[in-house]
Amino acid sequence: MATILKKIGRKMKKILFVSFFIILSIMSCSQNRNIQLPEPKTNGGMPLMEALSKRITSREFSAKELDLQTISNLLWAANGINRPDNGLKTAPSAVNWQEIDIYVCLSKGVYIYNSLSNSLEFYMEGDIREATGRQPFVKDAPINLVYVADFSKMTGDRTEEVKHWYSAADAAFIAQNVYLFCASENLATVVRGAVDKIELKKTMNLPENKHVVLCQSVGYHPE
């Protein structure tokens, strides 16, 4: 009987040992799917008044992917940290709720922009770009940004209607930052409200407290 228990004990140890390394491997694989962006270039670019004069909406995109440096600069301009001492950002936020998360939809999956680590955190597999809008061009734009409001961050006695209003304004500030960056870098962009938000929320597996506000396509102009 003791011999049998010893054999069972050895088998259990092997099973636990193998299971531990499988879990470790899965966790490591998930972490490796995150993308560390290069340090954003926060100087230079086009003068503000010139960028404003060249700000346009574009609905045609090249399928060429943006390089990581351009993505880093783009996301920092959109809503990156410009005051490291207190973590405040390039776009204003009502009550400093910072309730808007930027989901970055690429051909290889969906990521969340982490402004603190300047990285893209892996969120989900799959190319959902087509689901981010009703227009046919959205599936071809190399990047579709989805601005998602987390209502749980909007503390205080606020109605749902007020939260929707504030989050729409905050997302619009971010979208305009993207417009000005794209004007400066000669990139194509369009902010879009023609989105089936309920279906997109399901596609993205968002919890009840998170809501799709706006989407914005970014890419190179067609050659």
- The answer for residues whose C-beta is within 8 angstroms of residue 108's C-beta and 6 or more apart is 127
What pLDDT band is residue 37 in, cutting at 50, 70 and 90?
very high
Task: With beta carbons less than 8 A apart as the criterion, state whether 137 and 60 touch.
Answer: yes
Q: How far apart are CA 71 and CA 84, in angstroms?
A: 20
Backbone φ, ψ for residue 219 (5° rounding): 180, -175
Reply yes or no on whether the pLDDT at 7 is more than 80. Answer: no
pTM given for the model: 0.85
Amino acid occupying residue 72: S
Average pLDDT over residues 98-127: 98
| pLDDT higher than threshold 90 for residue 114 | yes
Crossing angle (nearest 10°) for helices 160-185 and 68-79: 140
Name the residue with higher pLDDT: 31 or 50: 50
Residue 17's pLDDT is what?
Answer: 46
- Res. 90: pLDDT tops 70: yes
Looking at every residue in the chain, the average pLDDT score rounds to 90
Q: Where is pLDDT greater, at 115 or 4?
A: 115
Strands 81-83 and 119-124: unpaired
Strand partners, 55: none
Instruction: Identify which has the larger pLDDT, 121 or 12.
Output: 121
* pLDDT at site 31: 52
Q: What is the pLDDT of residue 32?
A: 72
> How confident is the model at residue 185, as a pLDDT?
97
What pLDDT score was predicted for residue 223? Answer: 83
CA dist 112 → 102, 151, 154, 203 (Å): 6, 17, 19, 15
pLDDT digits (tens, 9 = 90+) for 138-155: 999 999 999 999 999 999
